[in-house]
Amino acid sequence: MARESIPSNDSLIPPKPISAEAQAFDGIVDQIAAGLYSLASMLVGEGEESVRLVESAIANAEVSVCHDPAQARKSSRRALCEAALKMLGVRNPGSLAAPEGLKPAGTCIEEDDVEAVKIASEDLERMIAGPDRDRVRKWLASLPTVLRTIFVLRAVAGFTAAETAGLLQTHGGPKADGWNADAVRAVFREGLCSLASQLLHASAPR
C-alpha cells in the first residue's frame, strides 16, 4: 500500500508578502523603462535594439530600491544615450561627425530652448506620447541623423549644450571629437526651426 506523502514544512510556509516599498519601486522602474524606450526609439528606431538599450541602461545605471526616482531616471537616461550614440556610430560611421568650420547662421529661432517655439517641454513630451505621436516621430525620422540626435538629446533627454557636446565627443564615433557647446546650440536651433515649421503647418486651416 502506497504511503501518503507528507508535505514538507517548507511547502506549508506562506509566501512572503511583497512590501509596499518594493511594489512602489516596481512601478517606478516600469515608468522609467517606458520613458527610456520612447527615448531610445527616437534615437535608433523602434524594435529589438531599443529594448536592449533599455535593459542595458537600467542595469548599468544600477537602478535600485534605494535610488531617488529622479536620480534613477537621470542616470538611466545618460546610460541609454551613451549606448545609443555608440550604436549610431557603429551603424553609420561618421554620421555624428562634428561640423567643420561651422559659423553662426541666421535661423528663425534666436534662443536654443524648446520654449522658443512657444511650446513647453511638458507639451512636447505629451506630443511625443499622445495622439500626435506618429506625426512627431515621422518628422523626427525625416531629419538627418545628427540633427535628430541633438534635438532628442536636448529637447527630450534634457541635456545641456555642454553635456550634449561631451556625450558626442566621447561616444559619437569617428570625427565626433570636435563637438562643442556652440556647435550643438547652432544645430539645435536648426531643429527648433524645423519643429516650428511643423507646428505651423499642423495649425494651418485646411
Are 174 and 103 found together in one domain? yes
The three three-digit cell numbers of residue 92, written as one number: 553609420
Is residue 160 in a domain? yes
CA distance 204 to 206: 6
Is residue 12 in a domain? no
Is residue 5 in a domain? no
Residue 149, pLDDT score: 97
CA distance 27 to 124: 24
Contacts with 185 (C-beta within 8 Å, 6 or more apart), sequence order: 112, 161
User: What are the counts of helices (DSSP H) followed by strands (DSSP E) for the chain?
Assistant: 9, 0
CA distance 202 to 206: 9
Residue 192, pLDDT score: 85
Are 103 and 180 found together in one domain? yes
Question: Low-confidence residues of the chain, pLDDT below 50?
Answer: none
Angle between helices 20-44 and 48-60 (to 10 degrees): 130
CA distance 189 to 151: 9
Domain boundary residue among 91, 107, 142?
91
Residue 65, pLDDT score: 52
Domain boundary residue among 44, 63, 91?
91
pTM for the full model? 0.79
| Structural domains in the chain (count) | 2
Residue 157, pLDDT score: 92
Residue 127, pLDDT score: 74
Residue 100, pLDDT score: 83
Is residue 3 in a domain? no
